Amino acid sequence: MCEIFFFLRGLIFVTIGGPASLLLFKIKISPKIHVFSPKGRVELSLSPLQKKKKKENMKRIESESFASVRFLFLVVAVVATTTSAFLFGSAEARRAAALPPRSLFTGDDEEKRGLIFGKKNTVEEEEEESSAADYDDVWTQKTSRLREKEMRFPEGVLKSATPLERAAGYFKLNRTTRDAHMFYMFFEHRGTGGGEEHKEEEEDATKIPVVLWMTGGPGCSSELAAFAENGPFEVVENEDKSSEDKYVLRESSYGWDTISHLLYVDQPVNTGFSWTSDPDDDEARDEETVSNDVFEFLQDFFLSRPELADNPLFITGESYAGHYVPAVSYKAFVASKNDEGSVNLNLKGFAIGNGLTDPEIQYAAYAKYSVGIGIVTAEQGDEVNAKYLATCEKKAKKCNNENGKRYSNATLSKKCIEAVEYCQNIPNALLEIAAQNKGGKPINVYDVRKECVGDLCYDFSPIGKFLNQKSTREALGVGNRKWETCNMEVHEKMMGDWMRDYEPLIPEMLENGVRGMIYAGESDFICNFAGNLDWTRKMKWSGGEEFAKKFSSPFVIDKEKGWTGGEVIQNDDKRFSFVKVSQAGHMVPLDQPRVAQEMLRRFVNDENVATGGE
């Protein structure tokens, strides 16, 4: 009966939905573009050329929509069966149902398949939006929403690398009627593939973890981590000065792919190589949107690689990922517990590096950290707290609905923005005093040991130049889209989320076998170890009292050489760990790649983080 019901509903949709969709297209397309600025919503009129292209695209949409109506009849039965499987079937049935029905498409129908599954979008629109424009034969449609290509660099750009699977792809978001796609990169574990000496035993292949990495910002690209911190390669100058490729890749000894399969995603949408045709409506403003987008991406990613679906999953990131990681992890945790989704994600743990997780506690720790490292005096720190801290805490509580009142979403977002604008007075005042104490020399907020160079106090220009090379764009399949380190429009739209506290999501996961690790470079000011240690010590959970009383142990990297990489606090059952990393700033894998690699290896293998082994 269910199949018959869904068939009839699909038939009605096909007969009247196609023509109706044309009317919707005509209504939706507006002659104006809306953008946000600090002064509010601004309308920009389209140029004559843009209007002409809109008109041409409108005609093509009408033509393609009518052409696809006939073809939609072919897939109605499959849609009905698929829907039934999703509603009433097991996770295994839902997994099978979500895969694209390739057997339906032969000959001329391949073009229609492209229209349905997003393989063949309007090229003019993509060029206008500077988005990924290459939808040719190099793409493989892995699921109905996920397409992928082999990441194949020219021989002169990538030499003597371990021959493994490396792929780049796009995942289409379905929460919008417009085009919105998240970019990702996948690097196979360096211990698999590439000849007999690299192959693992079949029974061990399912134990190799999959590590998802998300860079913070908000709005900063995960390619930053992939090519500067913990990826398989580092960007170096090309010794061949005659080549048009000025930068090339060199395999890194400390990439996290030596430990796991490694997955990077550019999110929220419009970050890095991700893109949307309507930033005003599609860009994220909260963690609910972020976690839903990433969760749906993970579902399709594992559908496209069923051999990895049961492997241990670890969700990681740094900086503003102190928000992303708990939100995405909790979404995956709850979905798995409730048997939701096509794939039951095997979430085993999460790790946050120099993150912003509990802003109220972390803002209160700025003065303590500044005094501790000697950039301000105790008296100066007390003066700053006396002036700003009480009001900051009051506003943070309002943002997090902790003052006994309940606000609408719009009011809550406004109060959260008011909170961050006010609370920023604390670090700003301390940095101003610290600069005065140093004779006017500003403090590098990401690494107090170093001078600030460039907009982000790091020189990432080689990475930007490499990613914008023609050969790199072709290898990644991103068309003419220009890469930038951080998208400040995305950053601005997430400001209503900044002061939200995501620590409350963590205890339930720890109580149910999901392990957590918080790590921080000791020389980072902006998301310092003092603030991170404070919120981990104050967190309420069954192991909280033990954790709060624990003394730190040396983080032993090489016992024979007497090499320690910092300090570790860890519960006896290894459910929760805090690591302070020596000689490192905001980006621990960049400053201490060997230490970060060993830290991850011990964590994903459920070893004692301080010493290794049981």
**What are residue 261's DSSP bridge partners?**
210
Annotated catalytic residue: which of 179, 300, 497, 524? 524
CA distance 343 to 303: 7
Query: What six digits make up the tokens of 366?
Result: 């700025």
Cα distances from 147 to residues 171, 184, 303, 325, 474, in angstroms, run 7, 10, 12, 25, 15
CA distance 406 to 428: 30
- The pairing of beta strand 347-353 with beta strand 515-521: parallel
Neighbours of 274 (CB within 10 A): 29
Give the closest residue to 462 by CA, choosing from 166, 247, 318, 222. 247
Residue 558's Cβ-count burial label (10 Å; 0-12, 13-18, 19+) is: exposed
CA distance 273 to 281: 18
Cα distances from 370 to residues 37, 138, 257, 383, in angstroms, run 33, 52, 36, 13
* 586 belongs to the catalytic site: yes
DSSP string across 183-213: EEEEE--TTSSSSGGGPPPHHHHTTS-EEEE
CA distance 331 to 334: 5
Cα distances from 275 to residues 173, 184, 270, 292, 492, in angstroms, run 10, 12, 4, 17, 16
Specify the 3-state DSSP secondary structure of 216.
coil
Query: What six digits make up the tokens of 607?
Result: 């070893």
- The pairing of beta strand 180-187 with beta strand 166-172: antiparallel
* 204 belongs to the catalytic site: no
* 358 belongs to the catalytic site: no
CA distance 476 to 166: 10
CA distance 247 to 252: 15
CA distance 211 to 196: 24
> What is the rounded radius of gyration, in angstroms, for the C-alpha atoms of the chain?
25
CA distance 72 to 68: 6
Annotated catalytic residue: which of 319, 370, 413, 577? 319
Annotated catalytic residue: which of 286, 534, 586, 591? 586
Instruction: Tell me which residues are annotated as active site.
Output: 319, 524, 586
